[in-house]
Structure 1
Amino acid sequence: MKMNRLSLPPVPAELLSQTIDWAIASRRSIRAYLPTPVPCEEIEAILDVARFCATGVNMQPWRVHVITGAAKTRISRAIAQLDNEPLLSGHLEDAYEYYPREWTSPYVDRRRKVGWDLYGLLGIAKGDKQRMHAQHGRNYRFFDAPVGLLFTIDRVLKEGSLLDYGMFLQAVMVAARGRGLHTCPQAAFLKYHQVISNMLEIPAEQMLVCGMSLGYADENSIENTLVTDREPVSAFTRFHHDSKESTP
């Protein structure tokens, strides 16, 4: 169904905020999927909604590559071959610096916690580098989701367009939730941006932003029980009124 941007809400007002809030709050990074196919029409409908996200002076900087079936398998295998050979992949660098070069608190603490919470669920002990590598390698199979999304942006664009892109990605993930689907945004693909660009014939003037898994969650997989902690509003918000700080 094509959206009319000026139309009235499709649900009663008392349900509208609950529905939107649920779609946002229930979005999680899902790391195990069912093989159930996602119809192409459903993928297109998600992107058709996401394109209405905010974007500075209507620039719309997103470019999307949807990969399924044999195409997804070929890319996953090509990356896995490199990822499993340190001599071939050790020198590769990310398309851009997504994470800080030097980790400081509280960010390093949050990073460590989510990592060990996930490994704990999977029974991966500290120091078990082989199983850690294998788990990380599942990124490149899109966690067995039937759909892989790869996002690119024109290199001439600046940081503001990456802000726009973040809103687009969030819109994709929320629209997916509204259809009973789950996602996992993935920066892991950045290291293999050149492989991806070559295989998908992405022009040199475009840069990989991230990948994303899309599909139906395998509710029986233990890793999908992971729920990350989030700071309360009071921890990151200051309210200003009459030039004086106040709390809600």
Structure 2
Amino acid sequence: MEMKKRINLELRNRAPEEVTELVLDNCLCVNGEIEGLNDTFKELEFLSMANVELSSLARLPSLNKLRKLELSDNIISGGLEVLAEKCPNLTYLNLSGNKIKDLSTVEALQNLKNLKSLDLFNCEITNLEDYRESIFELLQQITYLDGFDQEDNEAPDSEEEDDEDGDEDDEDEEEDEAGPPEGYEEEEEEEEDEDEDEAGSELGEGEEEVGLSYLMKEEIQDEEDDDDYVEEGEEEEEEEEESLRGEKRKRDAEDDGEEEDD
């Protein structure tokens, strides 16, 4: 895809003056020059044109708010003085993987007074003797060269810092959405457990009372049954005694009759 078409695609129905970041990596530069990018992109702060076969910066528009410029893996060999004229506020410049060979080419970057980080990794200039010392001496405004300062301390990754800030914001949002802290939920659960235990104990007492009353009723019923059984037994004994007395009287009467006959 040609650069001009890619720019129209990346706009996504926005006006150029509304765009602060523009990534055009891996598109195609016709004749090695910038196309479709103009001064209307006045709010642009980050521009990436990596691997677009760019050989010249002559058609770079004025981008006064541009802070970061990615030009890695192109075929740029010179003409860097345009950067100080068109993008005077650059703080980060990546020229790794280009055709930059000598210090005189890089000397044009001295006018970028705000430049803090420069990347020339995988350019032929890195093969020069005392390359790092020479660049730091030539461009005294920079702090990092190829990702490291003069004491070989690694440069912080601004994108990672942004991600960390974003993660912290996400965590705060998640905590807000989550509601009360974990301890609060645990307290609620403990209270619920206590209520359940109390209810259970009350239920247990109630069951014990029911069980006791049931047993008492059974005992009373057993006693009543025993009384009934005793009464029935006594009645039977009385009946037997009466029958025995009747038989005795009958025998006595018979004996008296026999005596009279005699």
Same fold at TM > 0.5: no
Q: Pick the structure with more strand per residue.
A: 1
Structure with the bigger RCO (C-alpha within 8 Å, sep 6+) is 1
Q: Which structure would you say has the larger Rg? A: 2
Q: TM-score, normalised by structure 2?
A: 0.19
**TM-score, normalised with respect to structure 1:** 0.20
